[in-house]
Amino acid sequence: MLENKNILIIEDDKDSRELLKIYLTKWNYNVFEASKPFAALELIKTHSIQMALIDWVLDETSGIEICNLIRNKFRDNYVYIIIITGQKTRRDVVEALSQGADDYLMKPFNFEELKVRIKAGERILTYQNNLKDCYDKLYEASIKDPLTGTFNRQTILERLNSEFERAKRLNDDLSVIMSDIDFFKRVNDSYGHLVGDSVLKHIGKILKKSIRKYDTVGRYGGEEFLIILPHTSIKVAKNIAERVRQSLKNEVFIIKNFSIPITMSFGISHISRASNSSLLLQQADQMLYEAKRRGRNKVVAIDEIKDYTIII
């Protein structure tokens, strides 16, 4: 079944268009009309149209050419195309199908036959949409941490490598924040791992809400989270980390009738101090260690440390 019941008619002849519209409306479809190629493409994009009835012979172009345009333009949004024409040779049928049409209906046609062919197209689209949904869910599961909803370790490290290479190539800013929940073992020991999981899940939501659209956050491991901040100076990175730290400090976690105070420590590194992404990550980790050493619930950035040497 079509998700939005939208069908596009691409036909020059007004009478033919009106007749098709009468039947399609009667069958409870939302009908859109076009006679020019680019108007058709815009309608498909704007209204997420998944099915089109296209006349082979058009004034400005041909139905086959529009078919090609649709296939090239909408690779990720499949449009089921039925070519309607008076061409009747086997060669014509083969050409239409080889150029991207899904079905072929010869004039004059019976409208009940058209209805059957539309229903057949709907079954194919339903099957395809289900496959796409399954693929999207599998892909989402492969890149996300199932507990916190942030990116998993592998994905966040891949993003770090990619952003580092981009920033180096463009001579752009890049900051990284390594964060860790303070005394998280006490939470697990005092309240149990289920409560600990709830805390991690809530922290994930707060971190995702706190970052900008082009930033990335992932669960690095255990109770550690890695935040990647493209186009970001170390000064701005400190402001972001401090904002998150304050919001956590002022929030009391109510989980299963337990009132649990939670704080986090943050370590910040910047691309200007690192020759590769691994070093950038290690520096953020060392700054996090320094924040812990200073008593936790702190933000420490690499520009605060004089004569800094990475400890491996």
Query: How does pLDDT run across 15-67, given as a tens digit for each residue?
Result: 888 999 999 999 999 999 988 888 889 999 999 999 999 988 787 778 888 88
- Which of 71 and 4 is assigned the larger pLDDT? 71
**Which domains, from first to last, does the chain contain?**
6-140 (3.40.50.2300), 153-304 (3.30.70.270)
3-state secondary structure of 181: strand
Active-site option among 223, 242, 251, 304: 223
Q: What pLDDT score does 312 carry?
A: 43
pTM score, whole prediction: 0.73
- What are the tens digits of pLDDT across the range 184-219? 999 999 989 998 999 999 999 999 998 999 999 999
In angstroms, what is the C-alpha Rg of the chain?
29
Tell me the mean pLDDT in the region 179-186.
95
Measuring CA to CA, how many Å separate 226 from each of 68, 140, 283?
45, 19, 12
Distance (Å, rounded) from C-alpha 143 to C-alpha 146? 9
In this structure, which amino acid lies at residue 114? L
Query: Which of 49-58, 82-91, 277-286 is predicted least confidently?
Result: 82-91
Q: Is 223 an active-site residue?
A: yes
Distance (Å, rounded) from C-alpha 179 to C-alpha 218? 10
C-alpha neighbours within 13 Å on the C-beta side of residue 118: 24
Q: What pLDDT score does 52 carry?
A: 94
Kindly tell me if the per-residue pLDDT of 241 is higher than 70.
Answer: yes
User: Maximum distance among all alpha carbons in the chain?
Assistant: 85
Measuring CA to CA, how many Å separate 273 from each of 167, 169, 264, 277?
13, 16, 24, 11
Distance (Å, rounded) from C-alpha 196 to C-alpha 190? 9
Which residue reads 């390594």 in tokens? 178
